[in-house]
Structure 1
């Protein structure tokens, strides 16, 4: 009887049990860190594309189409795999130009329903050349 009690109280196999319980939790935490680092990176890519598109769309002879083209080129160069399904909206008026870039961040964790988005917005005055008196040349 004492041998049976001694075996029940021993620590044999405890390390294996702890390893089986702890390692999946550590892997999940590491993947969460990677996932949110990708979200952070995708936000920077979207903001960069929006700023580049604003620079192309707000010039005197620029158009909204020029801004969209520049944003697409910037996204293709930097974020083709990180920022998926991007949408680009360029609004250009006589006074203000605004660019919005939105997209979905690639998933590392196969969690159903986990959809993370990243966006970037840039806005500035539309350029127009005037004389010192304020009239157009």
Structure 2
């Protein structure tokens, strides 16, 4: 019975290649996932502000509507959404005899991601 022995060629040792690939790939995938989450949060905050502005404008632009009614409707819409994505939001409504304008301003914020120990403290 013959056993074929493979002699490694110099400079072609594959040991550790999988570990190296894993060390390079996993952080890149984690960064990509975090960027996707941040983009989704920014999109969500923008969507909330746009929805609020539409609701406030609808209340302010009716025939006998007022800027105060538009602002109240915008703030109610934000409260109904119960979002914690937009902090310190403000709704500003201006109404003239021919034009109604709504501006929604808020700050998007979220918790900082960090690695913790099983006990809950920072590592």
Matched positions, count: 106
Distance 1:108 1:29, change over 3 A: farther
Runs of 4+ in 1 over 6 A off after TM superposition: none
TM-score w.r.t. structure 1 length? 0.65
Residues 9-28 of structure 1 mapped to structure 2, 5 A cutoff: 9-28=12-31
> Which of 1 and 2 has higher RCO (CA within 8 Å, sep 6+)?
1
**Once the two structures are superposed, what CA deviation does each residue of 1:60-109 show, in whole Å capped at 9, x if it has no partner?**
33222211111111112226212222221111111111001122223476
Gaps of 5+ in 2: 1-8, 114-123
Q: Larger % of strand: which?
A: 1
TM-score w.r.t. structure 2 length? 0.71
| Cα-Cα RMSD | 2.5
Structure 2 counterpart of 1:93: 96
For 1:60, what is the secondary structure of its paired residue? coil
